Chains A and B, each alone.
Chain A
Amino acid sequence: MRKSHPHSLADLIMALSKLSPSDEEATNAILEILGIRLEPEFTKMKFNQCHEATPDLSPYEDNEDKESIQTKPTFITPPEESKKSTEAAVTSELIPLEKSHDGLPTWFHHPLSLENKAGSSCLIASYPLQTLFVPNWTRALLISALSNYDSIGPINMDEIIKIISENKPLTEIPRIPWPTMVHGVQVLIDESESLEPFHKDQVYLKNIVLKVAGSDRTEIMGFIGCPLWGVQHGKFNDWSDYHPPSSRTTVLIMTDLGILRNPDIIDRAGVRDWLHFAAIVRDAGCSLVAFVPYPSERWPKPLKDVMKIVQWDRTTSISTIQQIFKKVL
């Protein structure tokens, strides 16, 4: 069952005072609904003391966003030998390691078995994913980058005044363009070999797009080199020709635009390929956004004018995206 988001102490006090739970089960159920976890000492207290005592409350430490990208912290207990060696290392004299007959250290021939030394409490270290975008900004960055502008905002009074002052009939009410994701997103993930170091980021970002834009309005496909060479649907190697989505949809590509590829390798897409692709997307009435994990100096210059390229790293903020988009618009 999904964990509730933690509430404030005030919510708990109000709920307890108004509902007056008279057994421990009811108290715990209320706490659970409010997502509040008590310290063990408090849970041992009688439920009827709840109103008198000030509970030592600790809300859940992690929110879901953190949980989705971080694994639980793992602890590795150093073996006794390594503890001793660490202590012994702080000496005033350096003692050369004992060597075997072939000149290699003796430990080389008799390495410690990890399996034997690792007890049940010792886990293999799994480091949390250091995402390319700042985690707390990711949602806002995606909304900013993937939204289209529709005339659904407040009334555009300047435009109305302009039309009336020109003595023209007002045939429709002009409205200020407003960002919306109602048209959906097509996500194209570059699965080329050179993008392998960023694979986890691609998967992470894809999942966030699904959550932000909604699974019903998101289409996910893979490609190698350039989408024009074919796109993959689902997990079953179902390849087909690329077709742009319906008008006004945002097309997001997670790629390196062929920047880091050896010219000899087969999946290297050139600037021409990308220009052709951008033209197809533009002709379909869609906007094209590229997340590229390299700095702007390395982006092919001709592509800067035909697609909204966003530097996929921690230097990117909402304002940088807005500046890029203003230039391309």
Chain B
Amino acid sequence: MNYKKIFDPGNPILSTEIPPDIKNLGDRCSKSVYVYDENIILAVNVAIAAGRPLLVRGPSGWGKSSLARNVAYTLGWQYYEQVISSRTQARDLLWEVDIIRRLQDAQIKDQLKDFTHYIKPGILWKAFDPESALNQERKALSSESSSQFKEQDYDNSCSRAVVLLDEIDKADPDFPNNLLVPLGSLYFTVEETGTKVECDSENSPLVFITTNDERELPTAFLRRCVELRLSKPKLLEIGKAHFDKNMDLVEKVASLLETTKNEQNMEQYSIRSYSPSPAEFIDTVNACIKLDIKPESINPESDIWKILKKTIVWKHGRKERG
């Protein structure tokens, strides 16, 4: 498959940002390790080329969130993420108003300032127009000495940004529809001040949206996204990328996990369909390394393997009970 790759993990432009205390393991803020297949690379390239958000589907632990981090790292783009909860409103991603502080200031003589001082930029504002977001953040903080904004959110060396909106299906059903204009037209207006925040298509952020398919997304929203459904990951390849020096252990754990999913006694946990996720696999291998468990000491009948299985793998089944 030949095409001009805008995003090419084989030829990375490494981010100048050196993240503090990174554990390069699975979904734990990993930015430097990810196993790509051609389908993922193409989908990322199409999303960048078409200027559309990339909707990443796949079961929990398959590397949806890590993908966004790694793409940002590879492209050398600024990275922002927000985990969506049931209480998240679409406006929270654009801007927030500190109404409590404004009310507090209103009680003190001559303390009340212009409304712009109480507005904080959200992650899409930062991604659309980092310069105006930085100015806004400084203005908001001018009278608030106690808190500081994250300097690493405004890296001048990054021309564009990757934004991760994690677990969009946790939000209320109308949430995606409220993002149609900002994500589709790349602009929004701050209601309180009338400030227009916009971004030209050449500098538009690459927005990753992840979903576990727990809730259906509106058709109008889906039409505006490029979709990527992650295919079943190959544990050995992932193990090699993460634990190259411990391949004996990786192979042993992978083969044992493969047999685990067929075990009859797992029926007691009411497991409907089960396959160990890469995140669980990485956790298991990592536990073995940190606890100095040798490959030769683990086998289906060993106590240590039974405990590992129970604590790291079977929890998945218990979640699905009932």
Once the chains bind, are B6 and A7 in contact (CB under 8 Å)? Answer: no
Once the chains bind, are B6 and A180 in contact (CB under 8 Å)? Answer: no
Question: Which of these, B3, B52, B87, contacts A20 with CB under 8 Å?
Answer: B3
Whether a CB of chain A sits under 8 angstroms from the CB of B172 is: yes
Once the chains bind, are A182 and B86 in contact (CB under 8 Å)? Answer: yes
User: Using a Cβ–Cβ cut-off of 8 Å, how many residues does chain B contribute to the interface with A?
Assistant: 39
B224-272 interface with A by 8 A CB criterion: 225-229
- Least CB distance, B36 to chain A, in whole angstroms: 15
Q: Which of B3, B45, B218 has the most CB of A within 10 A?
A: B3
Once the chains bind, are B219 and A29 in contact (CB under 8 Å)? Answer: no
**Do A23 and B214 contact each other (CB < 8 Å), given the known contacts A14-B49, A34-B50, A65-B219?**
no
From A95-103, A208-216, A242-250, give the one contacting chain B: A208-216
Q: Which residues of A contact B (CB under 8 A)?
A: 1-2, 4-7, 11-12, 14-15, 17-23, 25-26, 29-30, 33-35, 63-65, 139, 143, 152, 155, 160, 170, 173, 179-182, 211-216
Q: In the complex, which residue of chain B has the Cβ closest to the Cβ of A212?
A: B173
Q: Which residues on B sit within 8 Å (CB–CB) of A4? A: 226-227
Once the chains bind, are B86 and A180 in contact (CB under 8 Å)? Answer: yes
Once the chains bind, are A5 and B173 in contact (CB under 8 Å)? Answer: no
CA distance A65 to B174 in the complex (A): 17
7 residue pairs A–B, Cβ–Cβ below 8 Å: A7-B223, A15-B46, A15-B49, A19-B6, A22-B3, A152-B89, A214-B215
CA distance A17 to B99 in the complex (A): 47
Q: Which residues on A sit within 8 Å (CB–CB) of B291? A: none
Once the chains bind, are B46 and A34 in contact (CB under 8 Å)? Answer: yes
Q: In the complex, which residue of chain B has the Cβ closest to the Cβ of A160?
A: B103
**Do A173 and B6 contact each other (CB < 8 Å), given the known contacts A11-B52, A30-B46, A143-B173?**
no
**Do A182 and B2 contact each other (CB < 8 Å), given the known contacts A7-B52, A33-B226, A213-B215?**
no
Question: Which of these, A26, A139, A212, contacts B3 with CB under 8 Å?
Answer: A26
CA distance A287 to B52 in the complex (A): 40
Q: Which residues on B sit within 8 Å (CB–CB) of A26? A: 1-3, 42
Q: Which residues on A sit within 8 Å (CB–CB) of B4? A: 18-20
CA distance A212 to B172 in the complex (A): 9
- Least CB distance, A147 to chain B, in whole angstroms: 8
B1-44 interface with A by 8 A CB criterion: 1-6, 39, 42-43
Once the chains bind, are B50 and A63 in contact (CB under 8 Å)? Answer: no
Q: In the complex, which residue of chain A has the Cβ closest to the Cβ of B2?
A: A22
CA distance A179 to B218 in the complex (A): 17
Report B202-230 CB contacts with A as 1/0, cut-off 8 Å: 00000000000011101100110111110
Once the chains bind, are A34 and B6 in contact (CB under 8 Å)? Answer: no
**Do A23 and B1 contact each other (CB < 8 Å), given the known contacts A4-B227, A11-B50?**
yes
CA distance A11 to B214 in the complex (A): 28
Q: Which residues on A sit within 8 Å (CB–CB) of B216? A: 211-212
Once the chains bind, are A214 and B172 in contact (CB under 8 Å)? Answer: no
Q: Which residues on B sit within 8 Å (CB–CB) of A181? A: 172-173
Once the chains bind, are B215 and A173 in contact (CB under 8 Å)? Answer: no
Q: Which residues on A sit within 8 Å (CB–CB) of B3? A: 19-22, 26, 30
CA distance A257 to B2 in the complex (A): 63
16 further A-B contacts with Cβ under 8 Å, apart from A2-B227, A180-B172, are A5-B219, A5-B225, A12-B50, A18-B4, A19-B3, A19-B45, A20-B3, A26-B3, A33-B42, A33-B226, A35-B227, A179-B172, A182-B86, A214-B214, A214-B215, A215-B215
CA distance A5 to B52 in the complex (A): 13
B136-151 interface with A by 8 A CB criterion: none
